[in-house]
Amino acid sequence: MSRFPVILSAPSGGGKTTIARALLARRQDLGYSVSCTTRPPRAGEIDGRDYYFLTRREFINRQERGEFAESAEVHGNLYGTLHAEVDRVLAAGRHVMMDIDVQGALQFRRAFPESVTVFVLPPSGEVLLERLRERDTETGAQLVARLHSALQELQAVDEYQYVVVNDDLDAAVGLVSSIIDAEVASRDRVADLRHQVTQLIERLEREIENHSS
């Protein structure tokens, strides 16, 4: 059975991280690729679990060595996904749950074109604004920067294969889970499909011939 990355993107406050965590808790066939960042750890975050926290110089050195499947600067901090991390999860026989922004998703799809892409929409502009304002750790300038980013990210929705409206968390999680199941059974992802079908056809043809002779 083929394994593939699942990309969740959304404007900041859209709920993609919450959905990703719920899916990882629910499905044993999903694994998480730990990203790198130059931002300082937030309360409760652990290096190697939530992120690999790097200095800016360490990040740029790894970037120059071509170690990232995607990388971007967001609100003054660098973020990136290591090729090795994605390969590690796939090699373990799990789909890779990716929680990345639009800019990073575009790069990542070039590195892993088999990825399934899902854009998560908030149910309304008011809900999105409310979620953004709930972040007590940000200044007014940081909020404005996130609003500008959200505007740009919303314009990229047509580049995604699927769109999920996050008006009910359980329903949104269930819908993304159904998308993964559907992609597993997709004709393009079934290993040796043509060979399997050819064998079945040949077996039936022999049986028909035996009964016809």
pLDDT at 6: 97
Torsion of CA 60, 66, 74, 87, to 10 degrees: -130
Helices (H), 47-192: 56-64, 83-91, 102-111, 125-133, 140-154, 169-184
- b/e burial code for range 159-177 (CB count within 10 A of at least 16 → b): ebebebebeeeeebbebbb
Q: What is the structure's pLDDT at 186? A: 80
Output the tens digit of pLDDT for each of the chain's 213 residues.
689 999 999 987 788 999 999 999 999 999 999 999 999 999 999 999 999 999 999 999 999 999 999 998 887 999 999 999 999 999 999 999 999 988 889 999 999 999 999 999 987 777 777 767 776 556 778 778 777 777 888 889 999 999 999 999 999 999 999 999 999 988 565 556 566 677 777 777 787 878 876
pLDDT at 192: 66
Q: How far apart are CA 150 and CA 145, in angstroms?
A: 9
Query: Which pLDDT does position 136 carry in this prediction?
Result: 59
Reduce the DSSP state of residue 4 to 3 states and report it. Answer: coil
pLDDT, position 11: 85
How many structural domains is the chain composed of? 1
**Domain residue limits at 26:** 5-212
**How far apart, in Å, are the Cα atoms of 155 and each of 13, 98, 149, 162?**
16, 20, 10, 15
Q: What is the pLDDT of residue 150?
A: 79
**CATH number where 180 lies:** 3.40.50.300
The vertex-140 CA angle with 138 and 143, nearest 5°, equals: 65
Q: Would you call 145 exposed, middle or buried from its count of C-beta atoms within 10 A (0-12, 13-18, 19+)?
A: middle
Nearest residue to 10 (alpha-carbon basis) of 165, 120, 155, 144: 120
Q: Please state the pTM of the whole predicted model.
A: 0.79
**What was the pLDDT predicted at 206?**
80
∠ CA 97-20-57, rounded to 5°: 65
Per-residue confidence (pLDDT) for residue 160, from 0 to 100: 95
